[in-house]
Structure formats: C-alpha cells, structure tokens
C-alpha cells in the first residue's frame, strides 16, 4: 500500500509499463487494458505494472457511500491482477489529500516519479483533482518522459459496454447468469461457514450458513443455483439469500446466506468457501407452513440439478 505523500523515487523501480485504473471486478475490459500493458512491456523488454486505488474514490469524495461493497474487494482484486502475470501491483491509499493533487502533480509523483516509461489506460480514465486530467491531456502532462496507449471501450456479444457499473447492476438485480459475458468468469464471493439455527437440518435440507469475507457485493435476495468450493473441491448447490420469511419477521433480522449442497453430508463449520453464482431460480417466498416449504425446496433442488446437468460456460 502506497500512502500519500510517498517517498519513492524512480531509482527504486525498474523501467515500467503501467496500467492505470480502479479496476473493480477485473472484468474483460480491465483485462484488455492490463494485457495491452503486458504486451508492450514484453516488446520493450521491461517490467509491467498496475496502479489501483483503495478505497473507491466515491467513499472519500462522495457523501452517499461511507461503506461500499465491491465486485472484487482489494485482496481479491490484487489476486486477479497477479494471475494475469503483472510484475508490480501498486495500491495507492485514496485520501482527500491524494484526491486534491493537480493532474500534473499526480503524473509527476505517481507516474514519472515511479519510473514509468509507458502508460496504458481505458478511454474514460481520468486523474488529478476533480478528474480534470484525461487521456487526451496526458501527452501534455507527460513532459515527454513517457508514452501512452488508450484502450477503447469493449462491447460484449449482446452489444453491452463492459463496465463495473453494468456488472454491479446485474448483481443487484440477480441477473448473475449474464455476468460471464462481462467478467469473463462466474461472479464468485468468498466467505466462512458459520453456525446457524440448524433449522434446515431439522427439515431434511441441511445448509451451510455463510458469512462473506471482506466487502463483497451480495446478489439480490432470492434462491440461486450456485457452486460451492470447499477443501479443494467444487460442489453444486442451491443458495437462499434473504430473511427466511417463513420463520422470521424480516424487520427484525439481518440477511442470511445459506447453501444446501447437493449430495453432500459432511460438516464444514469454520471452513473458508467460495460461492460461484450461476442462475437466479426464484424470489424468496413466505410459505404458510413447513410442508409447503419442504416441497418448494425439493423443486429448487431439481431445478438446480437440471441446470448443472447442462453444458456450462
């Protein structure tokens, strides 16, 4: 983590090709930017780098978001970036002092000052106070000490512009099956299995109650076909996100995330798990009695089994 003002100079790093951006999600558009940086670095025979920021600028600059959920919280974002093969990942702590840098100060201190010889960024990247610096102004601010490449917008097979905003919208509306065309993979969240009220076990459908790690964005409440990764193995399952309205008054309880793993009967309390979100099956419903609930869960299991029996992305 780099804190502003930093004390590095350009002798601390080898010559770099740097991709700049916030990169929430590390989606296909972000990967296009990073892979372009990788290619140019290889052509020039120098190292590749990514600079990203934490927390999201809106947390510091906006008045709405004191706490934000992410497609990829910082730890997951860095992991995804490293898997692409980037040599250096710079995470700059985003503060009001950092945000007040003029475009020229940002370039002098965080690009030229870190020995960057070439910058790659998306067409809509902005930098400096109030985002006044744009890709069009970067040649002026570069002082002729580095060159730059602008990556144009990426459109998926459905004609949608690939963006973190659109992916967030898909997650918030439960359209998780549409996310791979934007993210390049299924939306996945990490968490820990915690003790619940064990009501599922009593009615014949034991569930793993999951508490998300970090600040992952939670899909719209409802029932989903998911895959759960635990102890190095993926399992098919059905997940309920919501307030369990058959048993509880939703005004009095926080949201729960429970996965019934198909054909699985081991205890996994305390285990770290990944949940891969495939398809929203239905809304959360309130049933008049336990028998109706059991009947519906059995139907949900069959729906999930049929879904996973098909060829997937």
What are the pLDDT digits (tens) for 13-29?
A: 999 999 999 999 999 99
Q: Is the peptide bond before 217 cis (omega within 30 degrees of 0)?
A: no
**pLDDT reported for residue 67:** 75
pLDDT at 25: 98
pLDDT, mean of residues 149-167: 96
The pLDDT score that the predictor gives to residue 173 is 98
Predicted local distance difference test score (pLDDT) of residue 82:
97
Q: Rounded to an integer, what distance in angstroms lies between the CA atom of residue 111 and that of residue 94? A: 16
On the question of a common fold for 16-151 and 177-309, the answer reads no
pLDDT in tens, 73-104: 999 999 999 999 999 999 999 999 999 999 99
Decide: 103 and 128 in contact? Cβ < 8 Å: yes
Contacts of 273 (CB under 8 A, 6+ apart): 190, 191, 192, 193, 208, 210, 228, 229, 230
Tell me which of 24-38, 119-133, 282-296 is least confident.
Answer: 282-296
Measured between alpha carbons, how far is 71 from 187 in angstroms, rounded to an integer? 8
pLDDT at 285 over 90: no
pTM of the complete model = 0.91
223 pLDDT above the threshold of 70? yes
Cross-strand pairs, 277: 187, 226
Query: What does the pLDDT read at residue 68?
Result: 86
Q: Which pLDDT belongs to residue 137?
A: 98
**DSSP assignment of 207-257, as one string?**
-EEEEESTTBPPPPSEEEEEEEEETTEEEEEEEEEE--TTTS-TTTS--EE
Nearest CA to 305 among 279, 284, 287? 279
Residue 245 clears pLDDT 80, i.e. is over it: no
28-44 vs 74-84: helix crossing angle, rounded to 10 = 40
Q: CATH classification of 177-309 is 2.40.30.30, yes or no? A: yes
Q: What is the pLDDT of residue 198?
A: 62
Any idea which architecture 16-151 has in CATH? 3-Layer(aba) Sandwich (3.40)
Domain boundaries, the chain: 16-151, 177-309
Cα–Cα distance between 68 and 56 in angstroms, integer? 8
Euclidean distance between CA atoms 222 and 203, whole angstroms: 19
Query: In this predicted model, what pLDDT tens digit does every residue of 172-201 receive, in sequence order?
Result: 999 999 999 999 999 999 999 998 766 655
> Is the predicted pLDDT of residue 262 greater than 80, yes or no?
yes
| Residues 191 and 212 sit within 8 Å (Cβ to Cβ) | yes
């Amino acid at each position: 983590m780099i804190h502003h003002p930093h004390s590095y100079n350009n002798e601390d790093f080898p010559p770099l090709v740097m991709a700049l951006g916030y990169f929430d999600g590390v989606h296909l558009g972000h990967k296009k930017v990073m892979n372009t940086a990788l290619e140019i670095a290889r052509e020039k025979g120098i190292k590749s780098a990514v600079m990203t920021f934490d927390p999201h600028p809106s947390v510091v600059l906006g008045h709405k978001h004191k706490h934000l959920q992410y497609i990829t919280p910082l730890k997951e974002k860095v992991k995804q970036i490293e898997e692409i093969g980037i040599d250096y990942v710079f995470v700059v702590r985003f503060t009001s002092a950092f945000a007040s840098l003029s475009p020229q100060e940002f370039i002098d201190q965080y690009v030229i000052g870190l020995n960057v010889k070439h910058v790659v960024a998306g067409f809509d990247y902005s930098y400096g106070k109030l985002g006044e610096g744009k890709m069009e102004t970067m040649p002026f601010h570069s002082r002729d000490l580095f060159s730059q490449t602008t990556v144009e917008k990426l459109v998926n097979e459905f004609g949608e512009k690939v963006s973190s905003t659109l992916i967030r919208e898909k997650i918030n509306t439960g359209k998780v099956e549409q996310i791979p065309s934007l993210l390049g993979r299924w939306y996945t969240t990490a968490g820990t299995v915690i003790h619940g009220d064990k009501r599922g076990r009593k009615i014949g459908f034991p569930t793993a109650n999951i508490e998300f790690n970090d600040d992952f964005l939670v899909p719209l409440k409802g029932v989903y076909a998911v895959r759960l990764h635990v102890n190095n193995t993926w399992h098919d399952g059905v997940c309920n996100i919501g307030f369990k309205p058959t048993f509880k008054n939703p005004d009095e309880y926080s949201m729960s995330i429970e996965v019934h793993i198909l054909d699985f009967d081991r205890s996994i309390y305390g285990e770290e798990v990944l949940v891969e979100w495939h398809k929203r099956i239905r809304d959360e419903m309130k049933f008049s009695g336990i028998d109706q609930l059991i009947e519906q869960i059995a139907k949900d299991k069959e729906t999930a089994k049929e879904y996973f029996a098909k060829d997937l992305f």
